[in-house]
Amino acid sequence: MNPYITNTPLEVEQMLSVIGVKDLDGLFADIKPAHRPRSFDLPQGLSEYEVVRRVTALSLKNNVRVVPFIGGGYYDHYIPTAVPSLTSRGEFYTAYTPYQPECAQGTLQALFEYQSSMCALTGMEVSNASLYDGGTALYEAMMMAIRITGRHKVIMDGGVSPIYRKILKTYTHHLSYQFEETPVVHGGSSRDEIFRLLDRKTAVIILQNPNFFGTIDDLTDIIERAHQAGALAIVSVYPISLGLLKTPAEMGADIVTGEGQSLGLPLNFGGPYLGFMCARKKYIRKMPGRIVGETVDSKGRRCFVNTLQAREQHIRREKATSNICTNVSLCALQAAIFMAVVGKNGLKAMAQQNLDKAEYAKQLLSKIKGVEVKRTSPTFNEFTVHLPKDASEVISAMMAKGFAAGFALGRYYPGMERYLLVAVTEKRTKEEIDRYVKALQEVLE
């Protein structure tokens, strides 16, 4: 089946005669018999209706009916309807990279607005037009810091997402960088250990706020010490938390990255997501990825273009700052529209509800016998709970009761099998939280 081919048999004849070949096979004469497929055994095509029925049935095999208290850096936030409604416009999603600025001002201006909103959120001076996801953005930031400092030692806080840390290791195992991972103490950064490792060889300290355990912190002192040693500091942040939290710019960060999924993107089983990267302006020429800049046209009118392209692979080839070719334009657009709809007041209100609901859940959970809510450090909307038994068992039992209870920390932290990471967003109602706590109580009895 292929209803999307429009040529009629008569037109095919006409076109073949213009080309001067007898039939469609004649167009492939350059492919010698020895190079033809040994097999091409694929299913027969289906009608649109049959495909819809089959794919819909598959979607129903995924359990999205459970009430989610699972986060780990990826959250179930509400997405105002206007957001997907606007990004569903074909003029946006069926366009390509704005190579011709005259017929792509829609995409270009929206990306400029995205960059501006990311600067508003993080307090940083510049933002690129997005990268693949939070993990790969952190890798790109680390490489950028190494390029800027010319040093090869990286100090990584243990509170940085274990998923991100695994990604960084994959990309750098062939390079002779010195990696130092510092332990987490009382849910937060180990300053003693970071300062012990910090020296004049250090390129960068990589931090995360809130960290993977949900702990929030003021990292200013660590960043100051990094700067004294001539090193840079990268902070990976959770955008919604910045409705309330001290910005990485206020803490002195040089490069800021993060996962932008919370800014109006669905969970989508892991993607497409939005990697963002902001930095001090003086580092912009060392930044990877597309950047949209403001300029004027031949008549002096304000307009927007892809700028500083001399950093990029299509010009610099093997000397480029990164091999990245695309950004995640549509996801950045989605985030820009989300930030515009929710706006200055909405973001703060949203962040406050996340905080309040998480604190409410903490209070109730700490009353369950045998459950210990880790309270040594303040948190935003996610926190760590110590259970009297294996968290994986508890999660399975809770699934049966209709809840995705959280993430089992033992998955990435050996020895933490009894720890559960619980996220509570603005979408969770009091009634859901109450039922969740009751269900957990029953499971633990």
Cβ closer to another protein: 81 or 228?
81
Shortest CA distance to 426 belongs to which of 363, 378, 362, 355? 355
Cβ closer to another protein: 196 or 315?
315
Instruction: For residues 214 and 290, give the distance between their C-alpha atoms in angstroms, rounded to a whole number.
Output: 31
Q: Where are the alpha helices (DSSP H) in 313-429?
A: 313-316, 329-365, 391-400
Instruction: For residues 172 and 181, give the distance between their C-alpha atoms in angstroms, rounded to a whole number.
Output: 14
Nearest 5 degrees, angle CA 315-CA 320-CA 321?
135
**Residue from the set 106, 185, 201, 444 that interacts with another protein by CB under 8 A:** 106
- Which strands form 153-157's sheet, in the order they lie side by side? 126-127, 275-279, 255-259, 232-237, 202-209, 153-157, 178-182
Instruction: For residues 373 and 365, give the distance between their C-alpha atoms in angstroms, rounded to a whole number.
Output: 7
Q: What part of residues 342-361 is at the interface with another protein (CB under 8 A)?
A: 342-350, 352-353, 355-357, 359-360
**Under 8 Å between Cβ of 340 and 117:** yes
93 binds another protein (CB under 8 A): yes
Q: Which stretch binds another protein (CB under 8 A): 26-34, 151-159, 230-238, 436-444?
A: 26-34
Q: Which stretch binds another protein (CB under 8 A): 13-21, 151-159, 178-186, 436-444?
A: 13-21
Cα–Cα distances in angstroms (integers) from residue 214 to residues 71, 208, 237, in the given order: 10, 10, 11
Instruction: For residues 76 and 62, give the distance between their C-alpha atoms in angstroms, rounded to a whole number.
Output: 16
Cβ closer to another protein: 92 or 197?
92
Q: What part of residues 373-412 is at the interface with another protein (CB under 8 A)?
A: 378, 380, 392-393, 395-396, 399, 404, 407-408, 411
Output the smallest distance, CB 211 to another protein, in A. Answer: 13
425 binds another protein (CB under 8 A): no
Output the smallest distance, CB 273 to another protein, in A. Answer: 7
54 binds another protein (CB under 8 A): yes
Q: Which stretch binds another protein (CB under 8 A): 151-159, 191-199, 200-208, 314-322?
A: 314-322
230 binds another protein (CB under 8 A): no
Q: Which stretch binds another protein (CB under 8 A): 103-111, 179-187, 190-198, 228-236?
A: 103-111
256 binds another protein (CB under 8 A): no
Give the x/- contact pattern for another protein in 175-214, rule: CB under 8 A. x---------------------------------------
Cβ closer to another protein: 222 or 350?
350
268 binds another protein (CB under 8 A): yes
Instruction: For residues 74 and 11, give the distance between their C-alpha atoms in angstroms, rounded to a whole number.
Output: 51
Q: What count of other Cβ atoms lies within 10 Å of the Cβ of residue 246? A: 16
